[in-house]
Amino acid sequence: MPLRRALSRSPRHEPAMERLEMACHRAGRSEDASDARRTLLGMRRAFERVERLAAAIEKDGWEVARSSDLRSELAAHLAAAESSDAFRD
């Protein structure tokens, strides 16, 4: 898989890890997708989210856990956009 080769050359490349997670999710490989998502969150040093994701996977399954994590990420981005000027250096 090209994404895995890219990550073997540059393991901390967040866009490639994010795309790997999406590709695995779309292919129905939830175990690989959850591993990629946890790795991505770890790269972002979002350790609390890693723990919440793992607990949600255990409780509700991958689909629900992923959706919840993506929604919380979106909410955080929206809150940041409301409190700062995106065009300011």
pLDDT of residue 12: 85
pLDDT of residue 85: 79
Chunked into runs of 10 residues, the chain (89 residues) has average pLDDT values of 80 90 95 95 95 96 96 93 80
pLDDT of residue 89: 64
For the purposes of burial, counting CB atoms within 10 Å of the CB of 27, is it exposed (0-12), middle (13-18) or buried (19 or more)?
exposed
Query: Within its chain, how far is the Cα of 14 from the centroid?
Result: 9
pTM over 0.75: yes
